[in-house]
Structure formats: C-alpha cells, structure tokens
Amino acid sequence: MKLFEYEAKSILARYGVPTPKGGLATNSKEAWEIASKLKPPFAVKAQVLVAGRGKAGGILFAESLSEVERAAEKLLSMRVKDIPVRKVWIEEKIRIKRELYFGITTDRFNRSYVAIASSVGGMEIEEIAEKTPEKLIKFLINPQHGFRSFHARQIARKMGYSGSQLLELEKIFLGLYRAGVDYDAELIEMNPLTETIDGRFVAADARIIMDDNALFRHQEFRKRLLEGESELAPQELEAIKNGLAYVKLNGNIGVIGNGAGLVMATLDTIKYYGGEPANFLDVGGGASSEKIAAALKIVLSDPNVKALFINILGGITRCDEVARGILEAREKMRVTKPTVIRLVGTNEEEGKKILKEAGIHVLESMETAAQKVVEITRQG
Amino acid sequence: MKLFEYEAKSILARYGVPTPKGGLATNSKEAWEIASKLKPPFAVKAQVLVAGRGKAGGILFAESLSEVERAAEKLLSMRVKDIPVRKVWIEEKIRIKRELYFGITTDRFNRSYVAIASSVGGMEIEEIAEKTPEKLIKFLINPQHGFRSFHARQIARKMGYSGSQLLELEKIFLGLYRAGVDYDAELIEMNPLTETIDGRFVAADARIIMDDNALFRHQEFRKRLLEGESELAPQELEAIKNGLAYVKLNGNIGVIGNGAGLVMATLDTIKYYGGEPANFLDVGGGASSEKIAAALKIVLSDPNVKALFINILGGITRCDEVARGILEAREKMRVTKPTVIRLVGTNEEEGKKILKEAGIHVLESMETAAQKVVEITRQG
Amino acid sequence: MPIIVNKNTKAIVQGITGKQGSFHTKLMLEYGTKIVAGVTPGKGRTRIHNVPVYDTVEEALEKHEANASIIFVPAPFAADAILEALENGIKTIVTITEHIPIKDAISVMSYAKQQGATIIGPNTPGIISPEECKLGIMPAHIFRKGNVGIISRSGTLTYEIAASLTRNGLGQSTCLGLGGDPITGLNFVDVLKMFREDPQTEAVVLIGEIGGNLEELAAEYITKENYPKPVAAFIAGRTAPPGKRMGHAGAIIMGKAGTAESKIEALKNAGVDVAEKPSDIAGLLLRKLS
Amino acid sequence: MPIIVNKNTKAIVQGITGKQGSFHTKLMLEYGTKIVAGVTPGKGRTRIHNVPVYDTVEEALEKHEANASIIFVPAPFAADAILEALENGIKTIVTITEHIPIKDAISVMSYAKQQGATIIGPNTPGIISPEECKLGIMPAHIFRKGNVGIISRSGTLTYEIAASLTRNGLGQSTCLGLGGDPITGLNFVDVLKMFREDPQTEAVVLIGEIGGNLEELAAEYITKENYPKPVAAFIAGRTAPPGKRMGHAGAIIMGKAGTAESKIEALKNAGVDVAEKPSDIAGLLLRKLS
C-alpha cells in the first residue's frame, strides 16, 4: 500500500526526521491559509501516488500567497499521469545545497532489508542506479540486530560527512529505519534528502510503501485503503475487499485464474493467440465459492468484457468449490456472456460433474481454452 | 525500581492480562466509593513495596461496603514491616480453584531472561523453590527471537493445561513478557496467577521491578521515584538524585567508599574489629568532587554518626578529585566529626598532598584505618 | 534418490485441524506420505484422519519421530510456527501459508540459515518426489516418477507444466515451488545446486515470473558454473503492463530489471531453452535429452 | 604468556574523547599498552594524546591493525559500541562503562557468543597482564608480573588484594574484573578454565560478593574438575543485612542463595581457602605455594 507524501512526512517527523513545515489543502482557499502561516518561498505539491510527479508538472513553486492560491487551483484541476489531484501539500521551499538519497527496502536474494544511500539524489537517482551503480552505497541489514547507530554513521561517512553533520545524518537514518520497521514498510525513502545551504538536512520528499501482508497490524491504514482516499478503480477496491488481486487491462476477454503465475501465463497465451485480455484476476490459493462468485462479479462489471475465461488448476484450490461458485454467481447475476472454463486438479472430477450437470462445458487444456475464447470474441 | 501492585496490574491489564476489577484509595471514603462500583466480596490490599505483605496482615477481605471502609481505615493506619501504608487497592475477590505462578527474570549465568512457572503458586512459591525445585518449570529465553507464542504453550502444557485454557494462558504469558520487555523489567511476575472456579485465569497479584539502569528510557517512573510516592528514606532519595548508592544501617561509623565490593569489605572489616557501620555508601566509579561532597552531606545527616571512614581506592576514581570534594564539603558543612581517610590509587600523590596541606592525615591500609576509626568511636 | 524429501521423510502437519490442513493431510496420507503427527494449539489430545494431534511441536516430537514439517497455520501466526519447528530441531519445513509479513519472514529465514535448515515457501505448493513423498498441496495425479527436476516460483504453473511433461512421458525427480511471497527460504540457485548433485535428476525446468532478479541470478550461476545438466525455462508475464502489480509483490516491475525480457535474455545467454508457452517445455526437453 | 591480553595486544579506545576515555588512554599509553586508534562519533580527523581519532570503528580498522577494544562510551550507547566492535571483527572487548540496561546487555552477549568473542565487563576495571598490557582503569603501580591469576567481581577490591599480594612478593599473571553489572561477558568458571590452561598461572584468587550464584557455580566447577591449581577466595558482604541492596543489583540477597555464608561454604567444600579479610589472601596463597 502506497502512502501519500503528506502521510509519509508526518510519520517521519514523528521519528525525528526534519521535514519542511507545511500543511494539506483540498482547495485554493485552504492553500492560502496554510501558506499564510509559513515563510515564503513555497512549494505546492500534488498529492498523487504515482512516481515521476515532478517531471509531470505536479510540483509548483510560489513566492507569494496569491501565487500559492493559483498554483493550488491549477494542480487541483489537473491530472498527473491520468490521476486526478484531490489534495495539495503546501510547504516552505528549502534552499538546497545538495540533494542526497536514503532509503530502505527489501533484498529478496539476501532475505534481508537493505539500506541504499547516495550523495547524488533527487530526480536522477534512477538514472544513477542504472548508469553508475558504484555511486550507490548498498548496506545489507543484519536481521539479527537490525540497523544500528554505527551503521548509520558508517554510511554517513561514506557519503563524505563528518562532525555534527555525521551525527545529524545518524539520527535521520535511524529515524527512517525505525519508522520503516514500525510501519512494516517494504520501501521507505527520502528522495531528495536535502542538505540546506546552512548545512542542515531536511527530507524534502518522502515515500512509504507498506507491506500489504502486514496491513492486519495497521488497521487504520487498511481502513483508509478500503474507504477511499486511494487511487484505486472501483473494481480494484472491490477486489481488495474480497482478498482478490485485480488489475484492469484494455482488452475484451475477462480472465479469472488461481495463482499469479498461471494468470500471467493465461494472459500471455491469450495474446499469443491474438486475443486481448480485459483484466488480470487472481483468486489466490484455496478460494471459496463465495470468492469465486465475487471474482465473477468484478470481472463482469467491466462493460468491455465480451467473453470470460476461467482457468483453474486446483492445488489448495478445490475444483468443486470453484464449480459451486461459478453456478452461484451465474444464477445471481444472470450471466449470459460466453464462458470458457478450464478446470483440473484437486477434486477435479467432482467439479466437472457439478458444471456438466448445469450444462457447462469444461476444457482441460489451457491452450485449447485460450484459442476457443479468442475465437468467440472474434466472432462476437 | 519496585512498582506498586496497582501500577503493575494496570500495566499488565494494558497487555491483555486479566486482572481483578478494582481501584486505588487514599482514605476510607474513597475505598467505599470504589467498592460501591464493584461486586462483593472484596479484597482490600495495602500498597507497600515489601515482600510478604499478606503474611504481615496487609491484605484484608470484606463482604460489604462498610467492611471495606473499616478494612481500609485499618490498613491506612498501620505499618507493614515498618512501612506506613499510604494507599490501598480495593478489588473484587476472586473465587480461587488453584493458584499458579508465572514470572520472568534475568539469569546471570546464562546471560538471558528466564521464565519461571509453577502450577503451585501463591504464598508458598519461595518454599517450593527451595524444597522442591523440580516443581518449578524453568525456561531460558533465547535472546535472538525472544519469548514466543509456542514457548508459552509449551509451558502451559507442562503446567497441565490444554484446550481453551492453554490458549488463554498463552495470551497471558505473552502479555506479561511483552510488558516486561517494554518496561525493562528485571523481574515481572504474577503470584498468584489464579485459576478461577469457572476455569478462567486472573492475575490476583503482580509485581514488577524495573531495571534501574534503564530508567533513562522511562522518565515518568524515574520522576515518580525521585518525587515521592516511594518508600525511600530521605537520605536514600538524596543518594539516588546524586547517583550514589546508600543503605542506612544501625551503627555509628559513617562509611564512604568507591565500589560496592570495597564498601562491603569495609563494613565487614569494621565489624571484624568490633565496630558498627552507620551506613553503606558507594560513590561508584569516577566520582567528581561534587559527588564526594554530596556523599559526605548524606552520611553526616544521620545523627548517629560519631566518626567517618572514607575508603577510596582510585581506578577510574581520581584521588585528587576525592581530596578536593572532601575539603569542599568540610568547609561548607563545618565538619567537626573525626574522619579517617584511606586514599590510594590513581593520582594518589596529588590527592594526599591536597589533604596534607589542609592538615588531614591519610592512611594507606584499610585495616589500619578500620582499627583506627573503631578505636575513635569507642573513645567517643 | 530425489532431493529434500524421499521415502524416509516423516512429517508433522502444523495447523492440521484447519480446513486446508485437514483436507491436504488426507490427500498426503493417500499419496503415501508418512504423516506421523499434527499440531494445532488448543486441539491437543484429538485425532484427525487417525493422525494424533498435539498442542505443541515439542510434545509431538516427544511421542513421534519426525524430520520434516508442513505448515498451514494462518499468516499472522506462521512465522512463529516456523520458529517452533526450527527450535525443535526440524530441518525441512514446507510453508504453504501465503502472505506472511516481510518483517516476520526476514527474521525467521535468518534463524533458519543459522540452524542449517531448509525452508520451502512461504506461499508454496510444496514439494513432491513422485512415488516417494508429497509434502504439499499439488494434485498428485499429474506427477510421475522420472528424471526431470522442476523449480518454480508459481504454484499453478508448476502443475500446468508438470502435467504436460507427464503427458509427454517425462517423469519428475522432484518438483519444488519456491513460493510466491516476497521473502522465501530457497531461490533458484539454491535448488539448482541440489539438482546438480542429485544423480536421479537429468534435466531441470525453471519456472519464473516477472519481478525481482532471481531468474537473472540463476542465469549468472548457470553460466559461471557451466551447469552440467540441460535447463529449460518458462517466464510468465511477458505481456504484463509495466508498473502494475500482478497478484503479489513478486511481480512489481522496476525499470528494466525484473521484466520478462530481461529474464528471458539472461537465461538464453546462459544457454537455457526458454519456452513461449507452458506446453512447449516438454518438446524443448525431449530434444535436449535425446 | 598471560591470558587474553599480552604484548601483542593492539587496542582501539571507543569513547576516547570523553573525560574518562581520554584520561585512561594517557595512563594506558604510559603503561606501554599499544593503543593504535580511538573512536568518537563526530570527532573524527582529530588526535588525542597523539592517538588518531575516527568516527567509526570501521574507519579505524581500515587504517590500523587492532585486535582489541576498550569501551568508555556512556551507558545508553554502550551496547551499540560493543556491537560495532564485534561486527568489525574485534574479539577482545573490555567494557568499562557501567549500568548498561539488562535488555541491551543480554542481546549483545548473545551475539558475542555466536562470534566467539570475549567481552570483559561491563562495569569492569578491565584486565591487566603486568608488564605486558593494561586494558583498563586500574592503578598500574600496585601490580607486578608473577604467577597469580586474579578473577574479581569487584573493581576496587581487586586493587586492594592485588596490592597486598604485590607487597608480599606475589606477582600476578593476569588480573581480570568480571564486572559489576547484572549481565557480564565472563563469569568465574570461564576464567578459571583459561587460567587452568595458562602455564604462567600457578594459583588463582577469586574475589566474590553477595548476590547471584556465580561463586557457587565456580565451587561446583572446581570440585567437578578437580581443579589442578590452588585457589584462594574472598567474599565481600558477610555483614550485609538481608534484603537490602548494596550498591548494585548484583548484591540483592534472595533467601539463602546468594548470601556470603552460602558462597563461603560452597567454596570451602570445594577445597578453596576463604580469607576473612582481604589482607589474609596473601598469607593463604604463600602457604599453598610453598
């Protein structure tokens, strides 16, 4: 789950990380009021959850209160990478000497968290990562005793700092780490972490992505995710509520399957035979009939869908449960769209029997099924 | 730092450990009011920090509100093991089926925390520990990943529990452990942890001793310790404020030394030669002249003191600092009591010189000095 | 002799009384897997499918000999269940549970490494050495004993490809799902090393997907070690739009690294045959093995 | 050759710029101890007593060779300082700092054990092998090179007894303070084992105090192993009133266990000579060694 900049900054501030003074506004009047309590010049920043906001024009600068008002108005009426801007964050603009990068994320291969730092941060960090990775400091965090004060100092030293600046960076890095641990962040970063012209440090931008698997420990965020203030499509929201993984795509073949790999391979196969999938929907492992019914409802709510392809290979998922879910949903929703079902694995015989008795034909090969559904949409 | 029962219970309750409903009163009217909101029968318990409160008459039972009033009155006017009772805790009396014990403390030899459990708890626990230690379950807590749910279940099983009772004990043991970690407890225990006649569990009594070395992380408790509500003598309080360790004893020779071992050996030596120490006072390592002066002030505030024995063996403590502190204090407080000083170690020559110039004689052997001070008090 | 599990594997089931735990215990028993005991806290002193159930792993191992565990307990409690198995000396742990928080998984994996234990998963279909032992939730009838080792990041794709191999007369030595969670106990390189030493395994199938760089690291290992057995691969997610999440965090695409193209290119450069469709794997292998 | 520290010990000082750190660095240098570098965060690129100061142990070890560290940093930061030394591969760590929280100490000691490192202290006067190396804060002039090993729970009592041995012509191989904090890196048994193997050490002095059961465990070890070298002991706190705290948590008396009587009895039963006064130790040893 991605957090907004203003959420990430308020978390970091509570962990002792200096952030610019600022406030959140949903209209230009509020923006004016917030700015009136701050010192000019100002930065007015669209609160959207997409990367590359700066380059897409989502950050404006202002010298006066009236300029803040105009900037807020402009941002609140625009879309950043197709996402409408609902809130803006107004803050004091920092006088920059140097832009640094510091973040912590997960390292799958080493099965640990990893701290990444660079004395060249800002918008170019991704370019640096690609072109001159030697400018990045990578520090694997020992899971046994975590990220400690001296690790922070080791990194600060390698970034070229000493004296009181080294001690200041130590506090900031540790604060970020502790925030990351407490909030179950799979990514937490300051980019840029700004060195000001008077030699102090301020997190000019901050990003937190929380581990979705740990949201049960952070009910307030789970609630925020499910009750709006997120940038999810209605189907995506409905999917999360039902424990499903859904991604909207641009084609006309609705896809439901179990297991991310299988569903991705299903999309690949549909494309291979010239079809266009309308979505990705993974019901996960061990789906109940209710979950299958919910999945059908979500996929069919997309008006572009002309045909359905249900691809189930039962392991922990039981084919009989799937069959019951399909019948249930078809009955309730009066599904009339052509459906191709491929059903094999655990309790396969029982599942097939249930569907056959309801007059539904079941295929055994993914590829035959994919060809069939592509054919149907071509005819339609 | 010892916490009162009501403090320990309120901490445990916040960690999900069931405790009896109750409230704190400083007079019998308050006691009546608290009891009026509870279900009879009641327990009225003196809030004192001494062990063996029950056997010393510090716990009374009451069937009615007027009995509660009388019990509170009685307790608030008595002393438990010489400590005046200032507060009582009134709670619903538990209908006991069985009394268990569960606590966590430190194991020095293994350098870890250790959980101790017994299915025979209550007042007899110390007797059990001595006579039938095999009835105690001792579980060393691995420092690397701490006390986990399954450890709690392993212990509950060995105590003879299963089913929902095992799961209930799991929650209670884990709650106690987490409270202990968060509050830096060197001892945290429920004794008894009561199994009620309907098969549930309630911590009928609770005790927490916080690690004094970690009080800097718990300023609210440090404040409470220094600003009253403790059972310390004025000298003991003054000692804590100055970072000194002071214990009042019953003799007439005031003792100041550096290092607990040396001061204890000094007391032993005084007794060996027939004297009676008035106190134990350890200035610790590296004491400044201000600290030495504070130590003199505390020791001399005891009217029983007839002579002083200052025994300093400098390592991290510097003899010149000690000498300056002694002169400073003598000047300010116009010390007239005879003083025997033994001063050797780091910066010994300088320290001796300072004292000699002020006309104070310094001895080199602890035993000669002890004999001398005993002689002085005999003459006095 | 296959890898990790075989005829001598004796397992306990943690979370045996849950819906999935109970159902798959039955299927594993039917397959012939030696399930000696089950553990569910609070359900001790009962039996399920005639397997005795205990409150703790400790008690189960006091009364039975076991060298493996399969875990079905819910995600919030799964890390503790793994630790419980580890602390009681179990060295092979299959974690079916999905969606274990990253923080919990990292801490447990570090301890497992210290203990020299093998953790399969989390979020894995498990492991099967056909005709010897199935410690997992895969539909057993699609597997046959043979000489192909399968390592996969995707549960259901494993079934897809294993079934196709079986249909084409290619049996399997061991099929193992690494698991779909962000942090897993094994990666491709770990298992490639095991298959290398396993005389029964003559060829390896590697089933990857977009996200992360585990496939790229496998390619690097195969090149560096001049891997002595033929390897074929399938990578799911060629047509996934960049920047979108496909089901789990394992599938975030970050820049170029982690794309299907990057993985396929790396594997091809290492001499691995990469299939376009799951059903093409069998053909590629048959060509290599003939 | 004495134990733990000797002529080849090259040490860094963590917390070198503090009042105690700086003062004792000077004294250690005067004694001839090889102090190669100091560490104080934020004070890098300076010098103190001509010793170069760095911000991190890592940097100090990039520029100097060292195999030991002595720590003077304040208690809230001391556990991290020990970890920093451990992570950078230092295997002998003397922690002068007193009053480290128990929770912090337990976590660090567990890691030190894994790393096979020796931690002396916390709250120790340190260690001295006379004429070879002093890594501590003890007044040096009271020690002489010789054949008696001293293990002590009390700093100042060690000086008391060492000085008395020296006056009586009994030099010391190594004198080591276990440390007065509740959790220490070494206990009597650990050091008894080292002295047993050390050819220079012909007799051992054990200085204990009330509280805990480390002296009782030492007695148990001496009996069980039929300890081959003479041992004399002094226990402080014979006249301490029960239930009162004498200076630190090490001195809480709990019931009978931990009392001076219990310790003295256990040691006497193990064949150890227990002195009534610190000054009696020398006489007891002279009798045993003659």
Whether residues A268 and C209 touch (CB distance < 8 A) is answered with no
- At residue D254 the predicted structure's pLDDT band, cuts being 50, 70 and 90, is very low
Assess if residue B2 is contained within a domain: no
Between A105 and B230, whose confidence is greater?
A105
B192 located within any domain: yes
B359 burial (CB, 10 Å; 0-12 / 13-18 / 19+) is exposed
Kindly state whether residues B45 and B105 are assigned to the same domain: no
pLDDT band of residue B377 (cuts 50, 70, 90) is: very high
Q: How far is CA D281 from the centre of its chain?
A: 19
CA–CA separation, C154 vs A315, rounded Å? 12
Q: Answer whether C191's CB lies under 8 Å from C177's CB.
A: no
- Per-residue model confidence as pLDDT tens digits over D8-34: 999 999 999 999 999 999 999 999 999
Contact A373, A300 (CB under 8 A): no
Rounded distance between C-alpha atoms, residue B61 and residue B285, angstroms: 49
Residues 258-287 of D with CB under 8 A from B: 276-279
Strand partners, C126: C136
Mean pLDDT confidence for B351-361: 88
State the number of CA atoms in the 13 A half-sphere of C41 facing the CB.
25
* Cβ proximity of B340 and B310 under 8 Å: yes
Q: What is the per-residue pLDDT across C174-212, written as a single tens digit (0 to 9) for each?
A: 999 999 888 999 999 999 999 999 999 999 999 999 888
Query: What does the alpha-carbon distance between residue D69 and residue D10 come to, in Å, rounded to a whole number?
Result: 8
Whether D56 contacts chain A with CB within 8 A = yes
Q: Which two tokens stand for residue B213?
A: 């070395």
Average pLDDT over residues B186-198: 94
Domain count across chain A: 3
Q: What is the DSSP letter of D15?
A: T
Q: What is the CATH number of the domain that holds A194?
A: 3.30.470.20
Q: CA quadruple B144, B145, B147, B151: dihedral positive or negative?
A: negative
Give, as one character, the DSSP assignment of residue C141. G
Residue A108 domain-assigned? Answer: yes
Indicate the residue of D41, D80, D107 with minimum beta-carbon distance to A167.
D41
Domain co-membership, A364 together with A271 = yes
**Residue of A145, A155, A173, A174 to mutate when probing chain D, most D C-beta within 10 A:** A145
Cα distance from B216 to chain D (closest Cα, Å)? Answer: 8
- B272 pLDDT more than 90: yes
Q: How far apart are CA C42 and CA C266, in angstroms?
A: 50
Tell whether A280 and A366 lie within a shared domain: yes
- Is residue B275, in this structure, part of any structural domain at all? yes
Please give the pLDDT value at position B172: 98
pLDDT band at C240 (very low <50, low <70, confident <90, very high): confident
The string of pLDDT tens digits covering residues C53-103 is 999 999 999 999 999 999 999 999 999 999 999 999 999 999 999 999 999
CA–CA gap between residue A254 and residue A53 (Å, rounded): 32
Cβ atoms of B139 and B154 within 8 Å: the answer is yes
Q: What is the model's pLDDT at position D243?
A: 57
Whether A101 is catalytic is yes
Average pLDDT of chain C is 92
Q: Are residues B78 and B100 in the same domain?
A: no
Among residues B217, B247, B278, the one where a domain terminates is: B217
* Confidence label for D43 from pLDDT (cuts 50, 70 and 90): very high
CB C35 within 8 A of CB C29: yes
- Is A189 an annotated catalytic residue? yes
B313 in contact with chain D, both atoms CB, cutoff 8 A:
yes
CA A284 to chain centre: 18
Residues 133-152 (A) with a CB less than 8 A from some CB of D? 142, 144-145, 148-150
**Residue A230 — very low, low, confident or very high, per pLDDT cuts 50/70/90?**
low
Specify the pLDDT at position D212: 83
Q: Which residue has better confidence, B235 or B9?
A: B9
**Confidence grade of residue C256 (pLDDT, cut at 50, 70, 90):** low
Asked if C44's CB is within 8 angstroms of B163's CB, the reply is yes
Mean pLDDT to the nearest integer, C14-29: 96
Domain edge (last residue) among A150, A182, A217: A217
The whole-angstrom distance between D287's CA and the closest CA on chain B is 21
> Average pLDDT, whole number, for chain D?
92
Chain D interface, best mutation among A150, A161, A170, by max D CB count within 10 A? A150
Give the CATH number of the domain where residue A35 resides. Answer: 3.30.1490.20
Q: Residue D236: its chain B contacts at CB < 8 A?
A: 260-262, 264-265, 268
Please indicate whether residue D252 or residue B363 has the higher confidence score (pLDDT). Answer: B363
pLDDT for position C248: 37
- pLDDT confidence tier of residue B225, bands split at 50, 70 and 90: confident
Task: Give yes or no for residue C246 having a pLDDT over 60.
Answer: no
Q: Is D58 on the interface with A (CB under 8 A)?
A: yes
Chains with ≥3 CB–CB distances under 8 Å to B: C, D
Contacts of B52 in chain D (CB under 8 A): none
Q: What is the pLDDT of residues A79-96, one digit of tens each?
A: 887 788 999 999 999 999
In this structure, are A74 and A102 located in the same domain?
A: no
Structure tokens at C23: 């159902």
Nearest CA-CA partner of A242 in A311, A301, A287, A294: A294
Q: Is D82 on the interface with B (CB under 8 A)?
A: no
DSSP H helices, C115-184, are 155-167
Q: To which H or E segment does residue B339 belong? A: strand B339-345
ipTM associated with this complex: 0.91
Cβ contacts of D57 on chain A, cutoff 8 Å: 150
Q: Is D46 on the interface with A (CB under 8 A)?
A: no
DSSP symbol at B358: T
Q: Check whether D251 has a pLDDT greater than 50.
A: no
Please count the CA atoms within 13 angstroms of the CA of A213 that sit on its side-chain side: 26
Is pLDDT of A271 > 80? yes
Q: Searching chain A, which residue's CA lies closest to the CA of residue D46?
A: A163
Residue type for A350, please? Answer: E
Using the Cβ of C1 and the Cβ atoms of chain A, whether some distance falls under 8 Å is answered with no
Query: Any chain D CB within 8 A of the CB of B245?
Result: yes
DSSP 8-state code for residue B3: P
At which of B46, B77, B92 does a domain end? B92
Q: Are residues A29 and A73 in the same domain?
A: yes
Pairing mode of beta strands A88-92, A42-46: antiparallel
pLDDT score recorded for residue A228: 64
Q: Cβ-count burial of D247 within 10 angstroms (0-12 exposed, 13-18 middle, 19+ buried)?
A: buried
Contact D155 B261 (CB under 8 A): yes
Q: Which residues does chain A have within 8 Å of residue D83's beta carbon, measured at their own beta carbons?
A: 145, 148, 150
Measured in angstroms, the CA of A164 and the nearest CA of chain D are apart by 6
Q: What pTM was computed for the model?
A: 0.91
Give DSSP secondary structure letters for D105-173: HHHHHHHHHHHT-EEE-SS--EEEETTTEEEE-S-GGG--EEEEEEEES-HHHHHHHHHHHHHTT--EE
Select from B190, B10, B2 the least CA-distant residue to B99: B190
- Cα–Cα distances (Å) from B322 to A11, B343, B369, in that order, read 49, 9, 17
Tell me how far the alpha carbon of residue A64 is from its chain's centroid. Answer: 35
Residues of chain D with C-beta less than 8 angstroms from the C-beta of B264: 154, 209-210, 236-237, 240, 246-247, 251
Q: Establish if B269 touches chain D: CB-CB under 8 angstroms.
A: yes
Q: Determine the Cα–Cα distance for residues A325 and C97; give it in Å rounded to an integer.
A: 23
Instruction: Name the helix (H) or strand (E) containing A157.
Output: helix A149-158
CB-CB neighbors (< 8 A) of B156 in chain C: 55
pLDDT beyond 80 at C282 = yes
pLDDT band for position D257 (50/70/90)?
low
Structure confidence at residue B67 (pLDDT): 96
Nearest CB neighbour to A157, from listed D56, D84, D107:
D56
Omega cis (within 30) before A41: yes
Q: What pLDDT, on the 0 to 100 scale, is given for residue D249?
A: 31
Share of chain B above pLDDT 90, in %: 65
State pLDDT tens for residues A279-309.
999 998 778 888 888 999 999 999 999 999 9
Question: Which residues of D belong to the active site?
Answer: 248
**A138 and A213 both lie in a single domain:** yes
pLDDT at C247 over 70: no
Is B167 contained in some domain? Answer: yes
Say yes or no: B241 and B305 in one domain.
yes
**Would the CB atoms of A111 and C105 count as touching at under 8 Å?**
yes
Which chain A residues contact residue D77 at CB under 8 A?
Answer: 149
d(CA A119, CA B30): 64
- From the list A5, A7, A170, A189, the catalytic residue is A189
Q: How far apart are CA A29 and CA B236, in angstroms?
A: 61
Full strand arrangement of the beta sheet holding B42-46: B22-25, B88-92, B42-46, B59-62
Domain range holding A176? Answer: 96-217
- Find the mean pLDDT for residues B107-136: 82
Question: Among residues A101, A113, A161, A183, which one is catalytic?
Answer: A101
Residues B238 and B375 in one domain: yes
Is B191 found in the same domain as B105? yes
| Whether the predicted pLDDT of C252 surpasses 70 | no
Q: Do D207 and B313 touch (CB under 8 A)?
A: no
Give mean pLDDT, residues D97-118: 95
pLDDT at D117 over 60: yes
Residues B310 and B350 in one domain: yes
State whether A251 and A375 are in the same domain: yes
Between D100, D110, D139, which is nearest B213 by CB? D100
Q: How much helix, strand and coil, in percent to the nearest 5, is found in chain D?
A: 35, 25, 40
Per-residue pLDDT, averaged over D239-263, amounts to: 60
Domains of chain D plus CATH, in order, are 10-120 (3.40.50.720), 138-289 (3.40.50.261)
Percent of chain A, pLDDT > 90?
A: 65
| pLDDT confidence band for B380 (50 / 70 / 90) | low
Mean pLDDT over all residues of chain A? 91
CB contact, 8 Å: A303 with chain D?
no
How far is it, in rounded angstroms, from Cα B379 to Cα C14? 78
Asked if A346 and C182 come within 8 Å (Cβ–Cβ), the reply is no
Residue B6 lies in a domain: no
- In-domain check, residue B12: no
Q: With respect to residue A180, please indicate whether it lies within any of the assigned structural domains.
A: yes
* Cβ–Cβ < 8 Å for B90, B34: yes
What number of H helices and E strands is found in chain D?
A: 9, 14
- Answer whether residue C250 shows pLDDT above 70: no
- State residue A123's pLDDT score: 67
pLDDT digits (tens, 9 = 90+) for D69-78: 999 999 999 9
Q: Identify from D61, D73, D83 which residue to disrupt to test chain A contact, counting A C-beta atoms within 10 A and taking the largest count.
A: D83
Nearest Cα of chain B lies from the Cα of D157 at a distance, in angstroms, of 5
Residue of chain C whose Cα is closest to the Cα of A257: C156
Reading across the β-sheet that carries A22-25, which strands appear in turn? Answer: A22-25, A88-92, A42-46, A59-62
pLDDT of residue B230: 63
Tokens of A180: 């990351």
Report whether pLDDT(B261) > 80. yes
